[in-house]
Amino acid sequence: MNIVSIRGAITVVENKKEEILKSTKELLIEIEKKNNLHKDNVICILFSSTKDLNAEYPAKAARLLGYNQCGLMCFNEMYVLDNLKKCIRLMLLYQSDFLEQKDVSHVYLKGAKILRPDLST
């Protein structure tokens, strides 16, 4: 069985609970689709958000989507001058007999696309 890491990020329009939950759900659903994931095989999801997002934990969106058997944790993103604002990032660890690291589709949405210009998402 392989363990792969899947990365993703999305920006949020406003620092509001509903916006953070909606955007985090959008990101997770797109990662699920692009990688054909099964929730039971998710080991953990680590979330970070920029310091201007503090109205809600992104992990709450994962629980609302049914990620109830894996570890979830939220962190503040390291502050870097002139960094991308209102951004949620994640790293998902996944176990699979079929998916290999070279075949993973990382997902960067909305303003977060600038973080990975090498990807076409």
Q: Which of 57, 67, 94, 108 is catalytic?
A: 108
Domains and CATH numbers, the chain: 2-115 (3.30.1330.40)
Q: What is the pLDDT of residues 81-103, one digit of tens each?
A: 999 999 999 999 999 999 999 99
Q: What is the pLDDT of residues 55-85, one digit of tens each?
A: 999 999 999 999 999 999 999 999 999 999 9
Active site residue 44: no
Active site residue 79: no
Long-range contacts of 34-40 (CB under 8 A, 24+ apart): 34/105, 34/107, 34/121, 35/6, 35/94, 35/99, 35/104, 35/105, 36/99, 37/6, 37/94, 39/65, 39/66, 39/67, 39/69, 39/70, 40/69
pLDDT band at 1 (very low <50, low <70, confident <90, very high): confident
